[in-house]
Structure 1
Amino acid sequence: MMRLALPLLLLLGATAGAQGGARRVAVVPIQAVSGDMTSRSGPRLTERLMSEVRGAGGLSLVTPPLEEPPPDRLAQARAGVKEAGTLRQQRDFAGAQGALDKALEGFASLASSLPNGNELADAYALRAAILYAQGKDEAASRDLVFALTLAPGRTLPLAASSPLFAQTVSRAHAALREQPRGSVRFASAPLGVAVTLDGQPVETTPVRVTGVPPGLHLWRTVLPSGEVTGGLVEVASGREAVVTIRPPGEGPGAVLAAALAGNRLDAPAVDAAVALGQTLRADLLLFGTVSLTEETGLVFDSFILAPDTRAPRRLPRITLDAELLDAGPRLRGLTSALASQGAQAGEPVALPVSPASQGAPEPRLLQVQYPVVERSEVPATPAVSAPSRAPLTPRKPLVRP
């Protein structure tokens, strides 16, 4: 999963003051404020800004040091499931449960990397079988329900390994169908992102999905920045679960990115920007949003902040075409103003403020039905209608002399 909140921060050096010292500026990736911007406008605009900074006199672009790639947690989770299966065959149920506990934690943290819930469902089914073997029937029943709801309409492979477990799965499935269903409401920053639930699309946010079977479900979405995010949501009978989708990541960079994606700049967002600037030892932070309008195409709203002042200033709004063909001269003017004026560029703003203009109303909350159609476990045998008359006596074959 891509992490754009901090790794793509750009450090710019600009000459400042009579003594010719360098003014350090951190540029935060530009955030799109609506889900209909499918061309990755934010990252593309950030790259164009980088290009203009590289070519600007008196400015130098400095990138942060490369970080070590994270360990392959998905491979670790899969290895944990395999280890649990081996320990179960050796009747080491406690060891198998411990291995599965770690594996399921890994799968949950990587939900956005899973194309569907099949692997999770198999892991929960295996843990259910292990818990049943230890007499922990209540916990086992819960895990078995999770296995069924994570991969609806799919036969659990583990059920074929034991007639007794197959009967248990069948009873759990029948009981699940009798329970009252719940709902899931998806909200997001930015608005209008397309969501999938259990592998099926459910319209764009904000949206409420009704008729959801009680249990655990996998959701996933792609943000306008190109980042893929997702997770698990537990639904209870007759209750509504709420999922709020934000740009992924941790720390002050992620907090600032989430605020900008929601088209707001308030005190907590400024505090996050200050902390980010102090961590990077930057003199100035440059951040903003890109929005889409029918009249002008793209609109770039940006701010500059000196961490020691905690007072953001709005830079002049820039209009661009959707393909950024005219971005060069306009971004060049912005970086030139920043190089010459520094922290005095732009105009002061009073918090809270909406970076992008509020021309379009907030989308109406959509309501859709749960999109997965469950298949029956055993296909019904078609009934053969009784013949309306007796069959004709077959003719004798013609024998030539």
Structure 2
Amino acid sequence: MIRTALLLALLLGALPASAKPGTSVKVAVLPFQALSADVPARAGPRVTARLVSEVHATRGLALAEPPRATEESPPSPLATARAAVKEATTAREARDFARADAALGRALDAYAASAVDLTDASELADAHALHAAVRYATGRDEDAAASLAHAFAMAPGRPLPLAATSPLFAKTVERVRASHDSRPRGGVRFDSVPYGLPVTLDGQPVGTAPVRVTEVPPGVHLWRSVLPSGEAVGGVVEVVSDRQAVVTVRPAGTGPDATLARALASNRLDAAAVDAASALGRTAGADLVVFGTVAREGAGLALDAFVLAPGDKAPRRLPRLTVDAELLDAGTPLRTCVAALAARGVEAGVTESLPVTPAPDEAFAPPPAQVAYPASTGRTPSADKPAGPVPDRKPLAPIRKPLVRP
């Protein structure tokens, strides 16, 4: 009897203080992150889902989930951008250039926010061309030339459909294009967290990060990538002549979930990441929080998991699990891991001092490769010239030197 009471006391002492006898310990399983692009697609989400399933099935444990948002989602930035372009087009036709300029400013901001959903760079290029036409109409020639330069940058050999609406604008487009084409090129270096992610620039594949893209036309460009979780990320980068812009591809978003995801994908846990995990656990009402990484190990995968009680200042490392790449044999190891959590709580892991490297043997990113910007080949010298005369606005002021803001 004394031995049984002592054992019970030890087990209760290992559980979180909030877990009372006869109640289930609430466990929040946070998304596992892949550490390299050679981890099979969506392996992290699959590991997370398998752990959630085991928590559901284990006696004494209950799954803790954050409350679901009930508010309606706001309109997508891409829809906002397209609506603003329509408004600008209508305003320009009515010669309300101030309204058109303001609408295009909103459109370009929305396009930047929705770059991940914008797979065709020509749509953004046409918005910049429309912005140029509006600015020329009000005598803002230098600003207009800068907008045209952005339109040319994303598709160097593509004709601008808007040029066909006016012989005068078509000539201006040709002169600004010639000036833009003569300017020195720049470059973009792509790094990624995790490393090895495939990247596209203006819709064209340029390799896997880290990679340095040379001979990039000055102006704005669209980039896009897909994380091992299956989440697409993207943005707009501005290139300046004779300079190299740097883009780091990594999990997007703000808040504690994004902070923890970026830390795990970087193979580094620090105080900020632990605080983020604690915050997520508290939001979900969890007694324990489990999170970790997925790395390649030979032909299979290695799972490095951690557990903490919200408020802890350091995570506890759980025993490393080795499974096959398809997670076919992952059932038993994951079940054993969850059973240890049910029996011992945070004591199932070993305390680590910050910062922690989840996968100590994971290789560093290789040196960056170098590729040239994929040139467009579909343009002829007369591609921007209109088919016939179309009435337009007042004569344009003389073209001054193009200005591209840094």
State the TM-score bracket (shorter-chain normalisation).
0.7 to 0.9
Amino acid at match of 2:169: F
Q: Which residue of 1 aligns with 2:3?
A: none
Q: Which residue of 1 aligns with 2:360?
A: 357
* Deviations, residues 64-118 of structure 1 (Å, cap 9, x unaligned): 4443444233222111101110010111101111111111111110101011211
Determine if the alignment matches structure 1 residue 48 to structure 2 residue 55. Answer: no
Mean CA deviation greater in 101-110 or 350-359: 350-359
The 2-side partners of 1:215 and 1:340 are apart by 59
Amino acid at match of 1:227: E
Q: Which residue of 2 aligns with 1:223?
A: 227
Q: In angstroms, what is the RMSD of aligned CA positions?
A: 2.0
Q: Is the 8 A contact 1:318 1:330 kept in 2?
A: yes
Q: Which residue of 2 aligns with 1:253?
A: 257
Q: Which residue of 1 aligns with 2:184?
A: 180
Q: Is the 8 A contact 1:200 1:372 kept in 2?
A: no
Determine if the alignment matches structure 1 residue 106 to structure 2 residue 94. Answer: no
Q: Which residue of 2 aligns with 1:8?
A: none
Q: Which residue of 1 aligns with 2:198?
A: 194
Q: Which residue of 2 aligns with 1:29?
A: 31
**Given the superposition, is the C-alpha separation of residues 360 and 302 from structure 1 closer, same or farther in structure 2, using an over 3 Å criterion?**
same
- State TM-score, norm by structure 1: 0.87
* Deviations, residues 121-154 of structure 1 (Å, cap 9, x unaligned): 1111111110111111121111111111123321
Determine if the alignment matches structure 1 residue 142 to structure 2 residue 176. Answer: no
2:297 maps to which of 268, 276, 293: 293
Amino acid at match of 1:204: T
Q: How does 1:83-162 map to 2 (within 5 A)?
A: 83-162=87-166
* Deviations, residues 316-337 of structure 1 (Å, cap 9, x unaligned): 0000101111111111111111
Mean CA deviation greater in 285-294 or 266-275: 266-275
Shift, 1:44, TM fit: 1.1
Mean CA deviation greater in 286-295 or 84-93: 286-295
Identical aligned residues as a percent: 57
Q: Which residue of 1 aligns with 2:401?
A: none
Q: How does 1:9-24 map to 2 (within 5 A)?
A: 17=19, 19-24=21-26
Computing the radius of gyration over CA atoms, which structure comes out larger, 1 or 2?
Answer: 1
Q: Which residue of 2 aligns with 1:3?
A: none
Question: Is the partner of 1:185 in helix, strand or coil?
Answer: strand
The 2-side partners of 1:152 and 1:49 are apart by 49
Unpaired segments ≥5 residues, structure 2: 1-14, 384-406
Q: Which residue of 2 aligns with 1:321?
A: 324
Question: Is the partner of 2:370 in helix, strand or coil?
Answer: strand
The 2-side partners of 1:356 and 1:183 are apart by 33
After TM superposition, the runs of 4+ consecutive aligned structure 1 residues lying more than 4 A away are 13-18
The 2-side partners of 1:339 and 1:230 are apart by 41
* Deviations, residues 199-251 of structure 1 (Å, cap 9, x unaligned): 11111111111111111011000111000000000000000100011111210
Q: Is the 8 A contact 1:15 1:22 kept in 2?
A: no
Q: Which residue of 2 aligns with 1:61?
A: 63
Q: How does 1:380-391 map to 2 (within 5 A)?
A: none
Unpaired segments ≥5 residues, structure 1: 1-12, 381-401
Mean CA deviation greater in 268-277 or 333-342: 268-277
Q: Which residue of 2 aligns with 1:308?
A: 311
The 1-side partners of 2:183 and 2:226 are apart by 32
The alignment covers a number of residue pairs equal to: 367
Shift, 1:18, TM fit: 5.0
* Deviations, residues 3-57 of structure 1 (Å, cap 9, x unaligned): xxxxxxxxxx999755334433221101001012242101111111112122111
